[in-house]
Amino acid sequence: MHRTRATIASVVAGWPAKKLYVIGITGTKGKTTTSHLVTAILEAGGQRVGRTSTVDFRIAGKTYPNNTNKTVLPPSQLQPILKEMVRQRCRYAVIETSSHALEQYRVWGLPFKIAVFTNLTHDHLDYHGTFDNYRQAKLKLFKWPTLEAAIVNGEDAAAPHFADGTTAPELYMYTTSSTVAKTKRRAQLVRAVNISLNPGGSTFRLEHELGSVQVKLKLPGLFNIQNALAAASVGLALNMKIGTIKEGLESVAQVPGRMERVETKKGFSVIIDYAHTPDSMEQIMKTLRPIVRGKLISVFGCTGDRDRTKRPIMGAIAARYADLVYLTDEEPYTEDSQSIIDEIAEGVPRGRAAFVGKKKTTTDKTKKPEMVVHDIHKFLKREHQGDGENEWWWRILDRRQAITTAIDHAGFDDVIILTGMGAQNYKIVGHEQVPWNERAIVEEILKEKQLL
């Protein structure tokens, strides 16, 4: 049925994708950021580009929000967008490609030329059943009959499956370390060396057999350097000049809902990110923890009607890295919001057992700074005999109130990280769409408090 619908939609639209050079980007995390970086590189090269992503659509320089809550639209909606790209004389189409889309034939008939794999972690198992099924669904993109090149994250554990499993004649692998996954096929290596991370972004030297260049990336975190390498590999596969690749990467200041920063008059920052899996949340926390001078404050929930096993894990991760934690509503779908929060809460006290805090200062320059580790047994033996609830972590059902409370508790040099909603413009409650824009809500609260 899915394939039939895809065929009909393609025929009705006149097979527009055949007139485009299609680039597909798949992976658990990083698809949206990578798609924006690829677009920037192509546009830096003077190309007219179309893009479909989780957060937006872009056609020949104009961007439109994606309000569907879907990474890839059904064919009846996707094909008209591709047709408009052709009408606007776009040469390239950058398509963020989910495992659901590959399984449900939403991208059937698209002549993918380049396939990009960012990473693979446990997600969507409620749909795919097993991790192997999930991996196999994504591997379909790398066996596409029209492929010319495959680009694979050489640091990911699943890299050999994609590198050796692809039918593409050219293979690129990228890495931020000195090693890369062992594969049967030879790959062109794209590396980042001399990496320097800071709160506002990072610098690194992009290396390839054809040359190297220094890059100043405005997106913070090692994972964003990986996304940048994936995008750079696309440019290299298209024989673009390395200087143009640098220009494109450095032009991207922010990606909506992906480490999106709002500064305040009080000297603290609010960061909005879509992270909704244990791995993506831990990556962000690991990125922020060493560079936050004040308190790290976490506000998050979990989506309803999805994998319940990750909820206490995410609670533990938040407690491990953040100083203050606010558990709140996200997108409950048909589940009870309070029950979801309670399941997350089960992992919070356990997480504090492994909490790694700020570095202890030392005047001895021969010694490395030690990390503060909180002992959970001592923590639980304090006079109140509690687990820290209502002291350093809270359950606040209303998300706006949770954000407001976090802002009230924030001071100079603190960072509030809001995860889960990203750049969405609504959330699903029951079977209804309830308007919600995280950044707009944050700005409203800050304006009310005269902090913006």
Whether residues 24 and 168 share a domain: the answer is yes
Last residue of a domain, which of 216, 251, 286? 251
Domain extent, residue 40, equals 2-251
Whether residues 245 and 294 share a domain: the answer is no
Question: What total number of domains does the chain contain?
Answer: 2
Q: Please give the pLDDT value at position 383.
A: 41
Last residue of a domain, which of 206, 227, 251? 251
pTM score, whole prediction? 0.85
Whether residues 123 and 175 share a domain: the answer is yes
Whether residues 214 and 273 share a domain: the answer is no
C-beta atoms surrounding 237 within 10 Å: 22
Whether residues 393 and 271 share a domain: the answer is yes
Whether residues 289 and 247 share a domain: the answer is no
Q: Please give the pLDDT value at position 88.
A: 98
Query: Can you tell me the distance from the alpha carbon of 80 to that of 83, in angstroms, rounded to the nearest whole number?
Result: 5
Whether residues 88 and 112 share a domain: the answer is yes
Whether residues 288 and 379 share a domain: the answer is yes
Whether residues 302 and 239 share a domain: the answer is no
DSSP character string of 185-242: S--EEEEEEEEEEETTEEEEEEEETTEEEEEEESS-SHHHHHHHHHHHHHHHHTT--H
SS3 content of the chain, % helix, strand, coil (to 5): 35, 25, 40
Q: Note the pLDDT tens digit of each residue in 376-386.
A: 444 444 443 46
Tokens (6 digits) for 86? 């052709």
Whether residues 246 and 267 share a domain: the answer is no
* 396, β-bridge pairs: none
The CATH number covering residue 279 comes to 3.90.190.20
The CATH number covering residue 168 comes to 3.40.1190.10
250 three-state secondary structure? helix
Whether residues 189 and 311 share a domain: the answer is no
Last residue of a domain, which of 234, 251, 268? 251
Contact 187/174 with Cβ under 8 angstroms? no
Q: What is the mean pLDDT of each run of 10 residues along the chain (452 residues)?
A: 86 96 95 97 98 96 91 94 98 95 92 96 64 88 97 95 96 94 93 91 95 96 96 98 98 93 95 91 90 94 91 93 96 96 93 55 44 42 64 97 98 96 92 94 97 96
Query: Can you tell me the distance from the alpha carbon of 206 to that of 174, in angstroms, rounded to the nearest whole number?
Result: 10
Q: What are phi and psi of 292, to 5 degrees?
A: -85, 120
96 three-state secondary structure? strand
Whether residues 204 and 271 share a domain: the answer is no
CA 437 to chain centre: 17
